[in-house]
Structure 1
């Protein structure tokens, strides 16, 4: 099969490798569409890959091509989205349903070969069926969509709040859509990229704010007054937005760090003191799973997408064949060149 194999920093080679064989309780998925995640960029262009060679890719959808022994729930020909986390299901955290905290996990597309290939192996339990009305391109968003919903569920979001989303990337725009579905009073997206802000507006943001504007804090105050935002979702992983979240948070707010930082982060004492004075709750959110595995986050994504409550297709920047994966990463080297999700396709069927 064709696969994009990472051999080292900025060294992806599309070549033929053996088609894997599903073992007991595993399925072989013919990949139809797979995404490039923001976390894949430092693995390819930096040194964040766990080992070499490796086939990356963990956002994917496809058709079940073969099943191993003991598989009963999923059949050949089923259309599915794949959950990439492979927890041990035996440790204390797994027994509590905290699969993302499993100490003995594997992960498709970072620890073991993933979906930047014609076929990928996953456990049967990791497959989420998709409705016939849902395209493979849309289903490739299941994983980041579940990440966004998991963060909102983690802070017990119940709607009726003014929500600030710091960062208009994939996770930020999916958090926006989930917040609207779940009944946010208003949603305001902050970013420095004009195209992302315009897309956020198209996807339902009540307000968008360019933080390059000198008066952006005054713009925020005009929306919620001096009280601030009751919910602040930091999705960029930037030191700037993480600090800004402390300023935008209302008294007794809930602040959630969803983005993953990639460099040192410092707070001066006056800024950090805001958490004490405002008594806001600060937490992080990691991955997208709950019990029963892979979780309600995945099932609700499938449900609301089938009801056409989301717009994933407008979040796609480019759709490229797998053979052009290096062209995609050339774009990531150019600041601002990638304005949305890049999907990779395999085969001649429409996605």
Structure 2
């Protein structure tokens, strides 16, 4: 089979490798589409891979073509997406349902071979059934959809309250739409990119705010009761200015959820930190996308809203790259401005 193997930093090649055979408890997935996650970028071009050569890719969908010992033949032909965490079920955190907080887990597409290939074998428990009606390109978005759903789930979110979504790239837009499906509102999207804000408006934001413009921030605050701020704030960019903005726009007794992975130091001035005290904020982080029973509500609900058209993906896919041309992904990622959305790999082309 063909596979896009990373042999060294920035050295992605399309190789002929043996088609894997599903072991006991595993299924062989014929991969349809595999997305390039933001977390794949440092693995591809910043020396971030755990080992070489490796087949990356954890955001993928496909059809089960064969099964290993102990797996019913009825799984053959089923559409599935991958829930890539392979938990250490013996860890105490896994016993509590905190699978991604456990020690000793593995991960399909970073710690073991992933979906940037024509075929991949994965444990049956990691194969999330998709509705037969779903388009498999949409199915490849299930993993990123669940990132936002997990943040919503652990926040003890309540519908009908004003919500701010800060940073409306791929994860932010998906989270915004998930919030809307669960009855949030009104929803205000914050970003520094007017194109992203226009896209957020198209997919359901009630209001938008360019956070570089003080007058727009003031207008956004005015949409909340008494201009006091938002009941719930989701920060998705991991950028220090956005993280500080999250504390500023949260209302009294508000909840701030940090979803984005930080890549730069964050320094809070005393008055900024004191916002947590003075407004009695609940500040929380979200890590991955799993709950009990594994892989969790996030995955079943996410599959439903992707299949029924609730989630609009039109603004998110920038490029579809054939697997046979996967090496061009390196140049795209290294060229400033070349990628303005999600790269999807067609693994059968």
Matches within 5 A, 1:140-159: 140-159=140-159
| Alpha-carbon shift at residue 243 of structure 1 (Å) | 1.1
Distance, in Å, in 2 between the alignment partners of 1:20 and 1:306 is 29
| Alpha-carbon shift at residue 90 of structure 1 (Å) | 1.8
Checking the alignment, whether the CA contact within 8 Å between 2:207 and 2:220 is kept in structure 1 is no
Aligned residues: 348
Checking the alignment, whether the CA contact within 8 Å between 1:21 and 1:28 is kept in structure 2 is yes
Secondary structure (helix, strand or coil) at the match of 2:327 reads helix
Secondary structure (helix, strand or coil) at the match of 1:145 reads helix
Checking the alignment, whether the CA contact within 8 Å between 2:58 and 2:114 is kept in structure 1 is yes
Q: TM-score, normalised by structure 1?
A: 0.95
Q: TM-score, normalised by structure 2?
A: 0.96
Checking the alignment, whether the CA contact within 8 Å between 1:195 and 1:339 is kept in structure 2 is no
**In structure 1, what is the equivalent of residue 23 of structure 2?**
23
Checking the alignment, whether the CA contact within 8 Å between 1:167 and 1:189 is kept in structure 2 is yes
**In structure 2, what is the equivalent of residue 329 of structure 1?**
330
**In structure 2, what is the equivalent of residue 211 of structure 1?**
211
Distance, in Å, in 2 between the alignment partners of 1:52 and 1:215 is 50
Matches within 5 A, 1:63-82: 63-72=63-72, 75-82=75-82
**In structure 2, what is the equivalent of residue 60 of structure 1?**
60
**In structure 2, what is the equivalent of residue 283 of structure 1?**
284
1:49-82 per-residue CA deviation (whole Å, 9 max, x = no partner) reads 1222211100000011111101138611111111
Instruction: Flag as ranges the 4+ runs of structure 1 deviating above 6 A.
Output: none
Checking the alignment, whether the CA contact within 8 Å between 1:50 and 1:111 is kept in structure 2 is yes
CA RMSD between the two structures:
1.5
* More divergent stretch after superposition (43-52 vs 167-176): 43-52
| Alpha-carbon shift at residue 125 of structure 1 (Å) | 0.8
Matches within 5 A, 1:16-165: 16-72=16-72, 75-165=75-165
Matches within 5 A, 1:255-274: 255-274=256-275
Q: Which consecutive residues of structure 2, in runs of 5 or more, have no partner in the other structure?
A: none
| Alpha-carbon shift at residue 17 of structure 1 (Å) | 1.4
**In structure 2, what is the equivalent of residue 345 of structure 1?**
346
**In structure 2, what is the equivalent of residue 182 of structure 1?**
182
Aligned CA distance change for structure 1 residues 279 and 49 (closer, same or farther; 3 Å): same
1:226-261 per-residue CA deviation (whole Å, 9 max, x = no partner) reads 301111100111111111111111110000000001
Checking the alignment, whether the CA contact within 8 Å between 2:82 and 2:126 is kept in structure 1 is yes
Q: Which consecutive residues of structure 1, in runs of 5 or more, have no partner in the other structure?
A: none
Distance, in Å, in 2 between the alignment partners of 1:318 and 1:342 is 5
**In structure 2, what is the equivalent of residue 231 of structure 1?**
232
Secondary structure (helix, strand or coil) at the match of 1:215 reads helix
Secondary structure (helix, strand or coil) at the match of 2:253 reads strand
